[in-house]
Structure formats: C-alpha cells, structure tokens
Amino acid sequence: MSQIPKPHGEILIDRIIPKNKKEQILESFSQTLVLQADDSIIKDIENIAKGVYSPLEGFLNQNDYLNVLKENRLQNDNVWTIPIVLDIDKNTSKKIMIGDTVSITDINNKPFAIMEIEDVYPYDKKKYSESVFGTNDASHPGVNKINQMNEIFIGGKISLIQEDKNNLSSYFTPPRETRKIFKERKWNTVVGFQTRNVPHLGHEGLQKAALNICDGLFINPVIGKKKSGDFKDEIIVDTYKELIKNYFQPNNVILGTLPTEMRYAGPKEAIHHAIMRKNFGCSHFIVGRDHAGVGNFYDPFAAHHIFNEFPDLEIKPLFFPEFFYCHKCITISNTNSCSHILENNIRFSGKLLRKFLSSGETPPNTLIRQEIFQIIKGHNSPFI
C-alpha cells in the first residue's frame, strides 16, 4: 500500500496564471505599482506558485507570521517553521493599500508575478532572528540577512506570470510531476535527500542505506543562494549525475533540484525541508547530522530532536548514525555496525573535503569517488 503522503495542508497549490490570461495581465502590468525582486524572492514566488511551499498561496500576512514565530504553525494549525515573507521599505509601503494589486519583476525588470495585497505590517528583526535562528549574533548568515532587510512586510496571494529560466532550470521537476513519476514507477515509499554539497562516500553510504528501507530515492540538492565556501550549483548537479550513472540502480533514483536559498536555521529549517519533500511526494526524509546548521550555532543533533515536537508532520524522518570509512573492515561503516576506533578511520565531512580541495591535494579514494573529484577539479573555482 502506498505511503505517499498528501500535500501539506491536503491541497497542492497551483498559482500559475493560465496562458490564455497572461496577455491580459501583461497589458495592465505597468499600470500598477511595480516591485523589483531579488533572486531569493523570485525563487520563493516560484515555490509558492508550483506547490513546493503548499499550503502557502502567497507571502505571510501578519497573523500567520506571528503565529509561525510563536507556535511554529500557521493560523490554520499546519506546521510551518520558516517565515516566507516579502520586505519593502517604508516609502514604498506608503504607496500600497490593502486590496491593491502590485506587479513584481525580476532584477532584469522582466514581468514575473502579481500580488494581491492582504496585509502591510512592520516587524521586529530581533524577535524574528531569535525565533527562527535561536540567536541575534550577526555572524550567523541568516541573522545578517534579516538585519539588512527592509522594515516592512507585505502579505498576500501571488500569481506567477513567467518562469525563471537558467542553465539548471531543466533539472527542476515540480511536485505535481514528481508525484506522477513516483506513481508510474510504483514507488510506495520514497526517501528525500537534502544536500548543498557534492557527494562524498558518506553521502553515498547513507543514501544506499535508505534505499534498503524505501522503494525510491529522490536526491534533491538546493540550488540558490548559499554562503561563501559552499559548492557552486552546477558542480553539485554534475557530480550527482555522475554518481547516479556509475554507482546507483538508475530506476531507483531521481535527481531533481530545489530552487531555494539556504537559511541556515538548523532544526527549524530541517522541518521546512521535510515539508517541501512531503509536497514533492516523499514518504521519508533523511535528516543529517547538523542539518542546515552553520558554525557552532546548533547542537549537531538538534535537527533530530525537533521532529518529536511535530507528530502530525506526516513525513517520516530517517536518522542514521555517523558513517565513516573503516580501514579494518575495508568498507563504509557506521557506529552501529563497527566497533573499531573511530579516530583511526576516515570521518566523512564536507569540511575535510574542502580542506583537500583548497590545498590542491588529491583526496583519498576512501573519501570521495575519483570520478566526482575529477569533475570538481575540472572547475577553476568550485566554491562560491
């Protein structure tokens, strides 16, 4: 029996304007107040419109925003931990009335979406950061971004006019389509894997362990704004294509990108990531050590513990022990299956891989597949 969950909030949202109505909307586009959105907001709009952020139909109004900060839920009681908000400056806010429709362009002034204004409200940056990130430390990249945002939020439903096209757009498959693919492949259980890194052997071992539990694996790397030192998007996609081609049963794995920015909100972002994978149709979700963490801001297993607070999430988290390469077992192992001293083995980490790459050294075969390393090596600058 299929364990594929219903979309979050029961309905998969579709806020894409039909082709037969686009021309009419574009004709009146410039007659409304026009807002220019950066890449992160553009991605949020697309994720709302295509159902990735279901049940959201637009940017949060004040009541939902405050409820998310206080209760980690929308007002309708659906679990929600990351505010999806659109900020404007005070001068612009004076030109907007509730009930207005505003137009949104991308950074190249290309018409992108329209928004029905339901709310205009100020917010407290300190409370936002404390609730979402658990800190007000400006060295946290999420806090730093909030500190640079405008003072006013606008809330309301959005409607997408044009899709954002780039060289990686073809790797994104919206939830409506992934659900069809899962059904066609007769996958009763699907495990989602979140990543912002190129794959090392620890990732591969974890993914293959998950395939012993589920029928299919949905590898879903984040494509979008990340912090300095993270791998570039195209390298992440290229290395995963190579890994799947050479080391997986292709009928059991799908690669699809997730266009969104990393917020580095640790445990709260882990819940957000799980909700998105639930909307794609995943029944299970791998939650890694220090999931969506940054620096030393979160306990390495905080993202595991937070799932206990949301028994109604309807996607099952998978927690695995730490994977490493054991020289004595001559294989990828973990703390549940190997008794050998961990310090004498290779502990997988993105940090260790970056260290090899930054120094110009070739990482060992026990850390990363050499086909993957050659792809990384082929780029003059693999990092953001």
Active site residues: 195-197
Instruction: Tell which residue, 112, 157, 153, 162, has the closest CA to residue 13.
Output: 157
Q: Is the dihedral of CA 120, 121, 122, 124 positive or negative?
A: negative
What does the alpha-carbon distance between residue 231 and residue 364 come to, in Å, rounded to a whole number? Answer: 19
Instruction: Name residue 19's amino acid.
Output: K
Q: Is 260 left (phi over 0), alpha (psi -120 to 50) or beta?
A: beta
> Is the distance from CB of 88 to CB of 52 less than 8 angstroms?
no
* SS3 label, residue 191: strand
Helices marked H in the chain: 19-27, 39-49, 62-71, 90-93, 125-133, 141-148, 175-184, 201-211, 233-247, 267-280, 302-305, 350-359, 370-377
- Closest residue by Cα to residue 187 from 249, 122, 100: 249
Contacts of 152 (CB under 8 A, 6+ apart): 87, 88, 89, 90, 92, 93, 120, 121, 122, 123
How far is Cα 195 from Cα 320, in angstroms, rounded to an integer?
15
**Which residues lie below 8 Å from residue 28, measured CB to CB, with a gap of 6+?**
none
- Cβ of 269: how many Cβ atoms within 10 Å? 24
Is there a contact between 289 and 187 (Cβ–Cβ < 8 Å)?
Answer: no
226: left (phi over 0), alpha (psi -120 to 50) or beta: beta
